[in-house]
Amino acid sequence: MAAEGDLRVLLALDLVLSLLFSVMVVTLLDFAGINEFSWPTVAASTLFLAIVTYVVVLR
């Protein structure tokens, strides 16, 4: 029987990894000239990715 783990740790890891991935994607989009880098864009994409990950993995 596997332990589920602490939900706070899972949410913290979800947010940190979503932030790192979002920074990478927005930076690459800026490098390609598709979109300009801005922190509000990173925040929005982090929030979106964290919510999608939570719904898909934890529900």
1 occurs within a structural domain = no
2 occurs within a structural domain = no
Whether 34 contacts 58, CB under 8 Å: no
Sign of CA dihedral 19, 12, 17, 44: negative
Q: What span, in angstroms and rounded, lies between the C-alpha atoms of 2 and 30? A: 42
17 occurs within a structural domain = yes
Check residue 2 and give its pLDDT.
58
Residue 47 has a CB neighbour count (10 Å cut-off) of 14
Check residue 7 and give its pLDDT.
85
pTM: 0.86
Cα-Cα-Cα-Cα torsion 35, 13, 49, 28, nearest 10 degrees, comes to 20
42 occurs within a structural domain = yes
45 occurs within a structural domain = yes
Q: Considering its fold, how many domains does the chain have in total?
A: 1
Q: Tell me: the pLDDT tens digits for 1-59? A: 456 778 898 889 999 999 999 999 999 999 999 999 999 999 999 999 999 998 998 77
Check residue 59 and give its pLDDT.
72
Q: What span, in angstroms and rounded, lies between the C-alpha atoms of 14 and 6? A: 13
Q: Could you list the residue range(s) of the whole structural domain that residue 48 is in?
A: 7-58
